[in-house]
Amino acid sequence: MNLTLYSINAFILLDSEGHRVLAKYYRPKALEAMGMGAGDLNTLKDQKAFEKGLWQKTKKAGGEIILYDGKLAVYKHSLDLIFYFIGGASENELILASALNAFVDALSLLLRNQLEKPAVLENLDVFLLCLDETIDDGIIMDTDSTAIASRVSRPRPDTTDIVINEQTIMNAYQTVKERMVQRIGQF
């Protein structure tokens, strides 16, 4: 029975081919000081092997939860990405799930529902801060997705250099297109 607040062992983000987009394995120092070792998966090699095996078992949508390699993994598919929270085998499944839901909901608020690999890589700063506001070294910080999202700051363009290039034009075009689609959808 886990009597500590350290309930999340790792966050993993894999793409549709099972490659790591990014992953954070939490090793709280405090847990080690309490004499509870952080367990396995300490080396990159072990982690990658774990992720590969996990992906094999979870690549099909519609599972949301699995017990893999003695660890509880809750996961969510989103287009070309899979989000995982990993917890100990004895963890309350619903706690893990609520943390994952909070994170994914907050992220989709921040990325305007574009939970796909290009959008995530483009907004990595927002993504990483969002993760940091959800989990702090294995402790769930909050499960209120709107609060999490509102705590993530967005970069403000430097007033000195506003670049107009292909990318910004593309973004403008995308925005216009989205708005149009929304408007049309309303009628």
Subset of residues 105 to 164 that bind another protein, contact rule: CB under 8 A: 117-118, 121-122, 124-125, 128-129, 132, 136-137, 139-144, 146-158, 160-161
Residue among 39, 40, 49, 94 that touches another protein (CB under 8 A): 94
Sequence-separated (6 or more) residues with CB below 8 Å from residue 46: 40
Is 74 a residue that touches another protein (CB under 8 A)?
yes
Is 173 a residue that touches another protein (CB under 8 A)?
yes
Q: Which residues between 26 and 55 bind another protein (CB under 8 A)?
A: 28-30, 33-34, 44, 47-48, 53
Query: Could you tell me if 103 and 83 are in contact, meaning their C-beta atoms sit under 8 angstroms apart?
Result: yes
Is 172 a residue that touches another protein (CB under 8 A)?
no
Q: DSSP string of 78-136?
A: ETTEEEEEEEETTS-HHHHHHHHHHHHHHHHHHTTT--SHHHHHHTHHHHHHHHHHHEE
Is 20 a residue that touches another protein (CB under 8 A)?
yes
Is 167 a residue that touches another protein (CB under 8 A)?
yes
Query: Could you tell me if 169 and 58 are in contact, meaning their C-beta atoms sit under 8 angstroms apart?
Result: no
User: How far apart are CB 143 and another protein at their closest, in Å?
Assistant: 5
Is 80 a residue that touches another protein (CB under 8 A)?
no
Structure tokens at 74: 């809750």
Residue among 37, 46, 49, 89 that touches another protein (CB under 8 A): 89
Q: What is the distance between the alpha carbons of residues 15 and 105, in angstroms, rounded to a whole number? A: 18
Pairing between strand 20-25 and 65-68?
unpaired
Is 23 a residue that touches another protein (CB under 8 A)?
yes
